Structure 1
Amino acid sequence: MTEARAAVAMAKGEPVEVTTIHVPDPGPGEAVVRVQACGVCHTDLHYREGGINDEFPFLLGHEAAGVVESVGAGVEDVAEGDFVVLNWRAVCGVCRACKRGEPWYCFDTHNAAQPMTLQDGTPLSPALGIGAFAERTLVHSGQCTRVDPTARPAVAGLLGCGVMAGIGSTINTGQITRGDSVAVIGCGGVGTGAIAGAHLAGAAKTIAVDTDPKKLDWAVELGATHTINATETDTVEAVRELTGGNGADVVIEAVGRPETYKQAFYARDLAGTVVLVGVPTPEMQLELPLLDVFARGGALKSSWYGDCLPSRDFPMLVDLYQQGRLPLEKFVSEEIALDEVEQAFTKMEHGEVLRSVVML
């Protein structure tokens, strides 16, 4: 067992506390990773606010990159010294989704079996099964994906959640191809990831929609060809006007609200695709005329983690970044210390940053 400094949410709504935790030695199928960088994601704030569940205390942080320090018995996919990006969907390989060749839908993903604890022995609930606002973390070895070790940890780690969800929503779920028109509603971390993904896929027209001018500026930096400020104009009409009156081939909804989902539904072309990657809250309800669902055709999809397969997608995207073809560095607004997580939450809520990254 080793000790590590970590940022922990002790109780609902209370500020994050930096404290010392105990990290067990890795058991069978597990790995201990020395965390080098971890992005501050809105999901971490949801945990702190009790919006995920009430299994406090939470060890926050999940968008991380680092170096494997030790592995347990039976681990063959990674080894001590490997530079890895952590993921929260370690596929099982044997469930019905995996067996039919769709492991990105795995229905039985793995996390570490042993708990990390506070010094008094209280078990910690790691955010998304990772818990990486810590100098070290214990994960299932399948949550570690080896990537180019020369990549900047602050950049590579962002693929662990929001950026991957956005890029994957366009490339994997939306299956955007060269020449397509794409609209992205909501340009936070996930939405700007979708903008970058659409640009990477060769979309002819990428339309960013948001209510915050700063976020629209970020979208342009990451490949948006047009912007729509939803406070100034009707989103559906504006998207149609930019697409010859037809609507976009693919619309990515990165907000997760019924109002914006309806906009996405009506802003797509006939037989077009809507991809929901924004995460709704449990009480939200959607009401659409069933005749419109039938008559407009096309596809209504949800994107889980960008339908990514970490072993396939993380190395590829890091390589594209290293080649200068995917500007992941533009997602990093600031690099901060572990004891600045609480201030990063405030900046995130106020829309001041795209991603704060904790450096360890």
Structure 2
Amino acid sequence: MARPKGVPESVEYISLPFYPLLSGGITAFHRPSIRGISILAQSTPCTTVFTLQSEHECPHEIEKACLDHGLKWVWICLQGANKKLLEGNKASTAIRSGLLDARKRLDKGEFLYIHCAAGIHRTGLFIYALIRICGYSKQETLNIVKSIRVATYEKCGSMRFDLGEGIAINILNGTVGKQIEGLESLKSEEFIESPFMWIKLIPTHQEMIRFECILTDKELNRYVLGSVVSLKINFKYLLKELGEKWMQARDVLYSPEQNSKSFKPYLRELTDFCIETFGKSKAQLIGKDVYIEKQFIDKFWQPLNDHLWEEPINLTSIEIALGLESNVNTSLVEDILYFRHIKDTYFI
């Protein structure tokens, strides 16, 4: 991004806010110039530069400049800001490893300058996840991102913040990918007799609702990972059409009356809708995020709404009965592990 007219380069770097995290702090900006690295070393608290770029973007130029000016340098190889690239196994592993390294450095009191090319997409995802794993809630994290750099907050996009949220939750839960500790993982086409379907609905930032599904057996020994769907909608429309209950983060559990072959019928209906609306390239649902507008509600949501509220068990009410505060920042995986712990008391 171009420097504002009339603002000297030195002022840009000297005025960067290093937000305090753990025992250190972070800031975010575009790829630094060689002179910018010199200014960072001489006139800011910066101790370490995190570069989130591919090998084709000449990251080692940054490495050399950092070494020349006494700064530490960490390279996280990310090919680009494209959603498919960022959610791939290679990128997710690199981001996760980088986040754990960054948190350790913050614990030691280091101050991190985090950048990609423009300091928007890859940087936004990374700093969001980093702030989350340092103990802040979703809304607090978004507020901190905004205070660090408004351009990153406004232009990163909810899709990348959601990807960062998923990675952060996996780290916080101590899980890798979508595995649930102590439960046997099955494929989507495998058979579970008399299943429980676990559903979590979470209103997020920028008028999104995150909708997660996991199927388990009633003994909570086996599971199938369902779809993660992010609904991009108008909240006023949602309130008008479906009421305030859909604006609250909560878990819902119901058991289909008949035996189920996992999510196949459910996925088929969703997939058909997505193919019809967006084309085949955006129709994969298992383990993916799908962003859809209000026509999804018009066509599909009401039947699902009716089915969900056929004598559901609102799991949040169990927490309230136990005198516990409902935590809307947990993942569905973590919730299932928690309710597995208390299932003998509450589930027959």
The one of the two structures with greater contact order (alpha-carbon pairs below 8 A, sep at least 6) is 1
TM-score, normalized by the shorter chain, greater than 0.5: no
The TM-score, its normalising length taken from structure 2, stands at 0.30
**Larger helix percent:** 2
